[in-house]
Structure 1
Amino acid sequence: MFSSVLGVFTPAVRLMDERSLIYDWNTVEYDFKRDASNHPHGVWFDDETLRDGLQSPSARNPTIEQKIELLSYMEKLGLQKVDLGLPGAGPFHRSHIDAMLTHIRENDYAIRPGAAVRTLMGDIEPLVEMQAKHEMEIQASAFLGTSPIRQYTEGWTMEKLMTTMEKAVSFAVENDVPVMFVTEDTTRSNPEDVKMIYQRAMELGVRRLCVCDTCGHVTPNGVKKLLAFIDEEVIKDAGYQRRDIEVNWHGHQDRGLGVANNIAAVEAGADVIHGTALGVGERAGNAPLDQTLVNLKLMGVIDNDLTLLDTYMQKANEYIEVPLPRNYPVFGEDAFETGTGVHASAVIKAMRKGDDWLADRVYSGVPAGDFGLKQVIRIGHMSGRSNIIWWLEQQGIEPEDDLVAHLFEVAKGQKRNMMDEEIHAAVAAFTAS
């Protein structure tokens, strides 16, 4: 039984088993298992686009309407947490946070709101007021630098840091504001300092810890070693059950390892992974949340419907003015396009078999259809005749030999792939001649 799709016939049953067509080296001696009983919940995500992302020196601060639209995509994608901003930055920022909280409440969103705060009572007080107004929990992401290089630069001591943390955390807990205690630059901090301050925070009632690679320093090996230390030497050593403490991972992109480190954090047992749309953020950016979601989806770790992820990325690109290079993985314009003859020929053959699964994988490590996208065949100086014939057929134009030969010669004289309008113009010129 066959059905027509895009002018080709789609067989109801593929003759070859999918597993026999791709040997997946990623799965060799790899068996990722997560003991659900040992964690507070499954793998969650905290979208930092509207806070840490906007700290990018080239980012544009979106309007409140645009922020609410971006927030709606986070909700549709099934993201569990969102950082709405930094209330300590002033009344303007607080007004935006307040408006987004109103939208979350009025639309009964499942996403859990939070805001970044310094470990100061003055930063936490607005959250106390907002919680009362909106009748919902707002996570206080209370951050404090702990690395020796930061302590030396600021003239801080661990005693001062402990006192600062204790005052702020105690105030939040007393006012029923849930705290995620964040140690900045954890990946360059002394183990004894990390252990001391986290354990004291837990004694005061904190049940959410955030481990940070603030300067983009760590490698995947370092991520796994650090998170193992948090599990064994910080949480369990203090007498807590791992399932009672939520461990967050927050990474940056300075060494280009943001996504790899996010995956390593999941493998090491992190409960919440932070990131931003398109990796927007300070310096080289935050860990890209979009690429993290794509990889974890392909690994089978999550099952979120990510077909709207492309739309979210395009909106983030437009509203925040974060660059979206043409060759950006999955969401760049070139990600699923080819004008190369040999490559295009293979994709076209798969399409002519009527097999979208095959067409999406024969020359791509990411299946476009899983993310609401599709393979695109272009015509250019490296194209073969099959590119031209396929393009003409998709436009409803008869691929007559003379027309194909003409377009082939035109394409060979180009310095890049041709735009559809250019090809149509070439067809019109040939037809008129």
Structure 2
Amino acid sequence: MPKRRIEIMDTTLRDGEQTSTVSFSASEKLTIAKLLLEELKVDRIEIASARVSEGEFQAVKDITDWAAENGYLEQVEVLTFVDNGVSLQWMEEAGAKVQNLLTKGSLNHLTHQLKKTPNQHFSEVKEVVDLASEKGIVTNVYLEDWSNGMRNSKAYVFEFLEFLKSQNIARIMLPDTLGVLTPQESFNFIKEIKDKYPDLHFDFHAHNDYDLGVSNAMESLKAGADGLHLTVNGMGERAGNAPMSSTIAVINDFMPDIKMGVNEKVLYTVSKLVENFSGVMIPANKPIVGANVFTQTAGIHADGDNKKNLYFSDLMPERFGRTRQYALGKASGKANIQKNLQQLGLQLNDEDLKKVTQRIIELGDKKQVVTKEDLPYIISDVLDRTYEEKVTVNSYVLTHSKGLKPSTTVSITIEGETFEANSQGDGQFDAFMNATRNVFKKKKIVLPQLIDYAVRIPPGSNSDALCETIITWKNESKEFKTRGLDSDQTVSAIKATEKMLNIIIN
């Protein structure tokens, strides 16, 4: 049995832009439109509402100019209104060729918002459709509030569909405007309509108010819907629309009788671009495109992946242009770390691996997130022990108060003997160094001079887990460097100093 081809219409640039606080510039809209059509390969894009603003007009003009040059003009759509042709005039001037005409899909909306009878409404719709035909503009029709129409005024919906059947329109679009449908209702309502009008093209437009957008889209396809309206990252008014990424993955994995043209490998790229342009951040746990969804945290899962990929599913990250990650934190085991080391091309023996694992767990207990890019720095810090530890900084108190010089009290053990001292300084670390010098004066040891102090986070790290401090010291004979690693800048400097103390005492 041949697969049934469905259309995917992306409405990120129209319905998605109704997300609170979001407004794309003309150049951003053009960039997203190109990516949606050329790379993601959706069938159609809805890019604007007619008559909104001069900026919106320019955005549409830019897109239609590009689309006309590249053979995409018939795939670019604009939302219009029953307004005696004013929207159509706007469209003509903007160069658009497909209108998505907003009409009333429930008797409740028609009666209380337009205050008109069905026959009055149908007559006005006909005038707009006929005018569009004269202008060479293709018409699709939205039945706004269709879902409540099917619940509460089904006779009106079918009267409207019977009228539309006789009109020169390409598609009838059925929106769950308020996101109120259950999956069973989505299936039943669309099946009832497709059974009666099998030759008409029906799109389903899901909203996500109950987090049922993907389920409703899936059920609508089972019932025979010919197309879906989706948005990147599920953007849209209130709780948003059915999200592109999850819906595409669900269709590909659970609906083998359906085919479509969307290139799922580009979903993540498009998602990140829209995130950056919109300023609406993707939740870390959002399926397919969230930061954490291909990250194994538990060590047992990483161990299972090493043993016949026991924790893999059909949702392989490579499908979406991503890679599997193995989180580093307090739940990490050696398997997680080994996976990250493999990706970096590094190897450690069992003893060193155990030390590094313990250090990562310590950081995790501080609620710090450790990234793969941090690993070389942790390894360097943990394994940089070419000396016998004869000096230990046991404890310290750092104080910094307004109007008073910073001060430090420190306890240091040198070759089994413990000393305490306190001092002030120009900053907390300077006060710590002054107190440490006071301790070593008791042992008649002069500390080397600090000549350089550099602080950085590991390049490529996107976490706040680690801060590396590299200090250059100079004594009578040479210069040398020590490094410290911690989530706190001052503590990392103290750790670098502790290494220096061990070097000079040895």
Give the shorter-chain TM-score range: 0.7 to 0.9
1:334 partner amino acid: N
2:259 partner amino acid: I
Cα distance between partner residues in 2 of 1:141 and 1:248: 12
Q: C-alpha displacement at 1:97, in angstroms? A: 0.5
Question: Which of 97, 104, 107 matches 1:138?
Answer: 97
**Larger-gyration structure (1/2):** 2
CA change 1:266–1:111 in 2 (3 A) is farther
Instruction: Give the equivalent residue in structure 1 for 2:481.
Output: none
Instruction: Give the equivalent residue in structure 1 for 2:348.
Output: 399
Instruction: Give the equivalent residue in structure 2 for 1:311.
Output: 269
2:169 partner amino acid: V
1:49 aligns with 2:6: no
1:292 aligns with 2:251: no
Deviates more, 1:47-56 or 1:192-201: 192-201
Instruction: Give the equivalent residue in structure 2 for 1:262.
Output: 217
Q: C-alpha displacement at 1:98, in angstroms? A: 0.9
Question: Which of 105, 114, 123 matches 1:163?
Answer: 123
Q: C-alpha displacement at 1:400, in angstroms? A: 1.9
1:184 partner amino acid: E
Cα distance between partner residues in 2 of 1:178 and 1:274: 18
Cα distance between partner residues in 2 of 1:111 and 1:49: 18
Cα distance between partner residues in 2 of 1:289 and 1:384: 35
1:154 aligns with 2:113: yes
Output aligned runs, 1:278-289, within 5 Å: 278-289=233-244
1:297 is paired with a residue whose SS is helix
Cα distance between partner residues in 2 of 1:86 and 1:167: 20
Output aligned runs, 1:151-230, within 5 Å: 151-154=110-113, 156-159=115-118, 160-189=120-149, 190-230=153-193
Contact kept? 2:173, 2:204, Cα under 8 Å = yes
- RMSD between aligned residues: 2.1
1:307 partner amino acid: K
Cα distance between partner residues in 2 of 1:228 and 1:395: 53
Name the % identity.
Answer: 20
Contact kept? 1:248, 1:273, Cα under 8 Å = yes
CA change 1:188–1:94 in 2 (3 A) is same
Cα distance between partner residues in 2 of 1:115 and 1:410: 57
Output aligned runs, 1:279-428, within 5 Å: 279-299=234-254, 300=256, 301-302=258-259, 304-350=262-308, 359=309, 362-413=311-362, 414=364, 415-428=367-380
1:308 is paired with a residue whose SS is helix
Cα distance between partner residues in 2 of 1:335 and 1:210: 33
Higher relative contact order (CA 8 A, sep 6+): 1
Cα distance between partner residues in 2 of 1:268 and 1:127: 34
Instruction: Give the equivalent residue in structure 2 for 1:63.
Output: 25
Cα distance between partner residues in 2 of 1:403 and 1:111: 62
Deviates more, 1:104-113 or 1:302-311: 104-113
Cα distance between partner residues in 2 of 1:49 and 1:146: 22
Unmatched 5+ stretches in structure 1:
1-32, 37-41, 132-136, 236-241, 351-358
1:342 is paired with a residue whose SS is helix
Cα distance between partner residues in 1 of 2:26 and 2:114: 38
Cα distance between partner residues in 1 of 2:74 and 2:121: 32
Instruction: Give the equivalent residue in structure 2 for 1:430.
Output: 382
Cα distance between partner residues in 1 of 2:113 and 2:73: 40
Cα distance between partner residues in 1 of 2:320 and 2:77: 28
Contact kept? 1:87, 1:97, Cα under 8 Å = no
CA change 1:110–1:143 in 2 (3 A) is closer
Q: C-alpha displacement at 1:194, in angstroms? A: 1.0
- CA deviation digits over 1:61-94, x for unaligned, max 9? 2222222221122122221101111122122211
Question: Which of 72, 78, 94 matches 1:115?
Answer: 78
- CA deviation digits over 1:35-69, x for unaligned, max 9? 75xxxxx201110000010011132x222222222
- CA deviation digits over 1:261-301, x for unaligned, max 9? 11111111111100100110001001112211111122333
Q: C-alpha displacement at 1:172, in angstroms? A: 1.7
Q: C-alpha displacement at 1:320, in angstroms? A: 1.3
Q: C-alpha displacement at 1:401, in angstroms? A: 2.4
CA change 1:146–1:335 in 2 (3 A) is same
Output aligned runs, 1:77-88, within 5 Å: 77-88=40-51
Cα distance between partner residues in 2 of 1:390 and 1:129: 57
What TM-score comes out, normalization by structure 1 length?
0.81
1:395 partner amino acid: L
What TM-score comes out, normalization by structure 2 length?
0.69
1:229 partner amino acid: E
Q: C-alpha displacement at 1:421, in angstroms? A: 4.1
2:205 partner amino acid: H
- CA deviation digits over 1:214-248, x for unaligned, max 9? 00011111111111222234x3xxxxxx33x2111
| Alignment size in residue pairs | 373
- CA deviation digits over 1:109-129, x for unaligned, max 9? 487111001122111222234
Q: C-alpha displacement at 1:161, in angstroms? A: 2.5
- CA deviation digits over 1:299-333, x for unaligned, max 9? 33336432111100000111112220111101111
Q: C-alpha displacement at 1:416, in angstroms? A: 4.8
Q: C-alpha displacement at 1:155, in angstroms? A: 5.7
1:74 partner amino acid: L
1:410 partner amino acid: R
